Structure 1
Amino acid sequence: MRYRTTTLIAATGAAALLAGCSSGTDDEAPPATETSTATATETATETASPSPTEPSGTATTSEPAPPPPDDEAGDAAPAFPTTTDPQTGESDSTSLHLEGVRVSEHDGFDRIVLDFAGEGLPGWDVQYVPAAESQGSGAPIPLEGDAVLQITGIHTMPEDPAAYETEPVVEGDAGAVEQVVYDTLFEGRTVVFAGVDEGAVPFRVFALGEPSRLVVDVLDDDD
């Protein structure tokens, strides 16, 4: 599996704050009886549930599981349709903004992922169009590929329009998707065009949350 990724929003820097530690005095140590009780409890717990990877007396902290990567969408990914008809989906958010576009090649399909910041899931309107034209102005957009797939994320309304200063192009890698071009945010709709090699082929669309993503898989018959 090969990944091609272009990050569309530059991340801002973050300052790190270091806190010093001071040692306590002997009279601040816990009483001997409390230490003995805690040790006995820990020993009993470790005996009941031994850990082959943790040494005796070592405390463990449970970390929240990270969200599944896009290639493990599981049941969220529908089956590929047999047609190339337009597909639409409803949004449950009005505060998402585009952070990046990624393209990756998988077994049997190419995946385009629109990463959004904010809460909720984007809606979508995805369909083949005669040509790539910029929203509002209608200006033609250069795009490689024999067919043009227009990917629109619906109800994406950021508070700061400057967040849409993006790199315009994501290149494919000899799969079904030749090139992906970010167009613009227009009336709450984030538009991206994908140039598909060898004409229109079936595609599937679904959304994932935490973080919010719009996923478009384009069938690759050559795999």
Structure 2
Amino acid sequence: MNGNRFRTPALLTALTLALLGLAAPAQAGPARCTTPWGSQPQVRDTAPYTGAYVQDVRSGRHDCFDRLVVDIGGAGAFDSYSVRYVDRVVGSSGIPTPVRGGADIEVVVGASALSGDDVAYLPADRAEVVDVSGYRTFRQVAWVESFEGSTVLALGTRARLPVRAFVLAPPVGSGQDPRLVVDVAHRW
């Protein structure tokens, strides 16, 4: 065996570049996040009570924000919500619902957890409505109450960050239901 096999200039250069990470293929950088939303209340209350009800609550992680989704049933059109930072989320009983994180968001949905006389949605764990472990911004989602046609959730975030709320209307004729979406950015 030749003891000088690693001394050839081309092989030595390639080995050095590989060790320094310079020969690795270019990787895409982090997503460019522009979130001009701000942190002011997001309020829409244009639809009268229509019998809408909460079907499900779920969450998702994105490159630039964490997302909370409330699926709404029983409403062809839906546009009744309030999403705002508060010192603490308090239900109609006056008792606060504490959540983890540096900032609390009160999410009020103009839909009941009841569909007629039947329970349409009730989380298995009121303190942990959805699992947000490992999320960059969300710290906890808690169920506060469903009372007189409204449902209240407490969303704990790591800090007061840009937030936006909007309704995703279903495509016409799809048979799908609308969804309330709450996005909270990872940074300013």
User: TM tier, shorter chain?
Assistant: 0.5 to 0.7
C-alpha contact 1:121 1:207 (8 A) present in aligned 2? yes
C-alpha contact 2:66 2:135 (8 A) present in aligned 1? no
Change (3 A) 1:212 1:82: closer
C-alpha contact 2:39 2:161 (8 A) present in aligned 1? yes
1:36-75 to structure 2, matched below 5 A, reads none
SS class of match (2:55): strand
Partner residue in 2 for 1:125: 82
Partner residue in 2 for 1:85: 40
Residues in 1 aligned to 2:187 and 2:84: alpha-carbon distance in whole angstroms? 19
Change (3 A) 1:91 1:105: same
Residues in 1 aligned to 2:151 and 2:46: alpha-carbon distance in whole angstroms? 13
State, as a whole percentage, how many aligned pairs show the same letter: 32
Q: TM-score, normalised by structure 1?
A: 0.58
The structure with the largest strand share of the pair is: 2
C-alpha contact 1:118 1:212 (8 A) present in aligned 2? no
Partner residue in 2 for 1:176: 137
C-alpha contact 2:140 2:156 (8 A) present in aligned 1? yes
Q: Does 1:200 align with 2:160?
A: yes
Residues in 1 aligned to 2:63 and 2:46: alpha-carbon distance in whole angstroms? 29
Q: May I ask how many residue pairs the two structures share in their alignment? A: 142
CA distances 1:67-105 after superposition (whole Å, capped 9, x unpaired): xxxxxxxxxxxx844521111113446121111111111
Q: Moved runs in structure 1, 4+ residues, more than 6 A?
A: none
Please give the root-mean-square deviation of Cα atoms over the aligned residues, in Å: 2.2
SS class of match (1:171): coil
Q: Does 1:109 align with 2:69?
A: no
The structure with the largest helix share of the pair is: 1
Larger radius of gyration: 1
Partner residue in 1 for 2:177: 211
C-alpha contact 1:121 1:208 (8 A) present in aligned 2? no
Residues in 2 aligned to 1:160 and 1:81: alpha-carbon distance in whole angstroms? 42
TM-superposed deviation, 1:155: 4.9
